Structure 1
Amino acid sequence: MTTTRWAILGPGAISADFAVGLRASRFGELRAVGGRSRVRADAFAGQHQAAVSGTIAEVLERDDIDAVYIGAVHTAHAELARQALEAGKAVLCEKPATPSLAETAAVIDVARTVGRPFLEAFKTRFGPFAARVGDLVASGELGVVTSVDAAFGFAAGTREGRLFDSSLAGGALLDVGCYPVSLAVQIAASAGDVTSPVTVTDASAVMVGDVDGSIRGELRIGGVSATLQASIIEALPSSARIGLTDGEIVLPDAWGSRTESAREIIVRSRGEERRIEVPSVQPMAAEADALSLAIAEGRLEVPEMPWSHTLAVAQTLDVWGAAATDE
């Protein structure tokens, strides 16, 4: 493996977490930072020891950049991804890939056309925890999957800024609701189906201005019934339960953090309970390395988060959001 030379586009808070995580990667190094503001890009590059900084266009023109991480606001993802792919760079794009299924499909079409890898950065998909959960479901040892119940929510310190700005695709659904959706898609895929249309039987939201402060839904994704919740105005348990015909899988901490992946899995079946501990990894380093492997092996997709899953997540977010009524 040769070193993957990374650029960060969008020098914000989550990009700072990625820059720190990249230091733990096996194959990557931060080379450049690009932003709309040269001053911010210069400051970020200095803070995180990147050799080069400049405007986004200047960074994408460089031939010493192999991959870019997009950590800008949701509404900027699609255009930045298109520009980067057309400049010949592999792309790791922070979740959600874009605010809509149509935009996400268009980005994937560009990646396919230009022949460069594109990966949606769901950190929860990478490492031993996600792999073990998927294996438990796919093995059939607990029977057939019937349901997924999952929640992710926190109380924001203020009701201003990006999270509460509809013009920047703010709201609970896109900011944290995508995590429970991604898990439900992973489980549906492990059980064999993410191609069926998503249906919603019930959905509601608590609005804060014109964005969803909290949202809940009863959905069907593939052959799996999903009860999902998300909030940016109240703390919710960061847990999940996967129901199967012969038992259940409980994830006390389903999402981990930006520095450590989750590690505990509880399996209950036939009156018995066992706890499984798996090693934790730096999840942002793991997703970066997954893209590096795709580059090295000439693949456009990454098995932990293939394009079919990215499209299924985008479809589910579209359908759930459209169906939610104001409580």
Structure 2
Amino acid sequence: MTARWAILGAGAISHDFANGLTHAALGHLHAVGARSAADARAFADAHGAAVAGTYDEILARDDVDAVYIGTVHTSHGDLAIAALEAGKAVLCEKPLTTTAADTDGVLAVAARTGLPLVEAFKYRFGPFPDRLRRAVADGAIGDVVEIVSTIGFTATARTGRLFDPGVAGGAILDAGCYPVSLAVGAAAWAGQPLDDARVIEAEGVIGETGVDETASAVLRLGAVTARVRTAIVEDLPRAARIVGTAGEIEIPNVWGSRQQSTDAAVLRRPDGSVEHLTAATLNPMAAEADAVIAALRDGRTEAPEMPWVQTRVIACLLEDWRRALD
């Protein structure tokens, strides 16, 4: 039997996750929760879920094995804790919370309950990220010294959650978490210590609504320097470059999409030789969902693709980056 998923939140990203679950091997959509029971019912009907209700009603059910949280940033932590306390595995959209302290609090509950908790950086799951991890860890480009990564888009209107400081809107938490998470991951794959990870430079623009609309930062991760940039009012490349002492890996579409994972990168060496790194694609939301259920079945609290130590470091860096712009 496949695991029974509940989705909390009836927004756009939750619809994408529901569609992704149709490609999952280990779970299926069973229930939908929202602040409004009517919204939950409409979502459930659209995706063929058997059960709908408020958040509390869904979490109280015994026929839910795992919960996906696709709500606004400021509600992630409380919903994740409630789900864990109710005995459910949790896949929570990034960022897990908006502060390092709150992130530690959620992880502590997951450790106490012994249930899986995974931060949903979908680009981490699937054949291509596995190949990228192996290339970095095996020294294909020598010692990693620099990571450069960007993500940015032009919002259609300066309204809604993205531009609302009350729900932790802004570029850093909505999009900037991606290049920060990649930098943390690549440094860890290269064997660098993360205990002294820090922001050493930061700048950005705070818009009229009070959120960061563009931002850039320089991070120090052991011996690795990472340069990251993000925006919600400007289109930026969805790309990354990992530079080592014996070559570099360029990933033109590192984040993929909600429907299809990344499949290609180019490894360039100082002698001018080029190697194309390719892999099969899949639905990354299905892959991250299956990683949660695999952990649940195995009695693990973490997925190796997104370990808790990295979630902690990412939370600290994001908080420091945002604070530097105040």
TM-score by length of 1: 0.97
What is the RMSD of the two structures over their aligned residues, measured on CA atoms? Answer: 1.0
Deviations 1:120-161 (A, max 9, x none): 000010001111111111001321000000000000000011
**Secondary structure of residue in 1 paired with 2:145:** strand
Q: What are the equivalent positions in structure 2 for 1:193-204 lying under 5 Å apart?
A: 193-204=192-203
Give me the whole-angstrom Cα distance separating, in 1, the residues matched to 2:168 and 2:286.
26
Deviation at 1:198, TM superposition (A): 2.2
Contact 2:199 2:219 in 1 (8 A): yes
Deviation at 1:222, TM superposition (A): 2.9
Q: Match of 1:180?
A: 179
Deviation at 1:206, TM superposition (A): 1.2
Q: Match of 1:205?
A: 204
Contact 2:199 2:317 in 1 (8 A): no
Q: Match of 1:251?
A: 251
Q: What are the equivalent positions in structure 2 for 1:58-69 lying under 5 Å apart?
A: 58-69=57-68
Give me the whole-angstrom Cα distance separating, in 1, the residues matched to 2:68 and 2:125.
16
Q: Match of 1:322?
A: 323
Q: Match of 1:38?
A: 37
Deviations 1:265-284 (A, max 9, x none): 10001211121221111000
Give the AA of the match of 2:35: R
Deviation at 1:218, TM superposition (A): 1.1
Q: What are the equivalent positions in structure 2 for 1:96-115 lying under 5 Å apart?
A: 96-115=95-114
Segment drifting more, 160-169 vs 213-222: 213-222
Give the AA of the match of 1:318: E
Deviation at 1:194, TM superposition (A): 4.5
Contact 1:194 1:308 in 2 (8 A): no
Give the AA of the match of 1:300: T
Q: Match of 2:266?
A: 266
Q: Match of 2:231?
A: 231
Deviation at 1:321, TM superposition (A): 1.7
Q: Match of 1:77?
A: 76
Segment drifting more, 80-89 vs 219-228: 219-228
Deviation at 1:33, TM superposition (A): 0.4
Contact 1:194 1:309 in 2 (8 A): no
TM-score by length of 2: 0.98
Q: Match of 2:27?
A: 28
Q: What are the equivalent positions in structure 2 for 1:109-128 lying under 5 Å apart?
A: 109-128=108-127
Q: Match of 2:221?
A: 221
**Would you say how many aligned residue pairs link Structure 1 and Structure 2?**
324
Contact 1:91 1:119 in 2 (8 A): yes
Give me the whole-angstrom Cα distance separating, in 2, the residues matched to 1:58 and 1:284.
25
Q: Match of 2:290?
A: 289
Give me the whole-angstrom Cα distance separating, in 2, the residues matched to 1:194 and 1:128.
25
Q: Match of 2:303?
A: 302
Give the AA of the match of 1:303: P
Give me the whole-angstrom Cα distance separating, in 1, the residues matched to 2:292 and 2:34.
22
Q: Match of 1:137?
A: 136
Give me the whole-angstrom Cα distance separating, in 2, the residues matched to 1:304 and 1:86.
24
Deviation at 1:47, TM superposition (A): 0.4
**Secondary structure of residue in 2 paired with 1:79:** helix
Contact 1:217 1:324 in 2 (8 A): no
Give me the whole-angstrom Cα distance separating, in 2, the residues matched to 1:313 and 1:224.
15
Deviations 1:191-241 (A, max 9, x none): 113432222232101111210000001111233100000000000011110
Deviations 1:11-31 (A, max 9, x none): 111000000000000011100
**Secondary structure of residue in 2 paired with 1:96:** coil
Q: Match of 2:241?
A: 241
Deviation at 1:53, TM superposition (A): 0.3
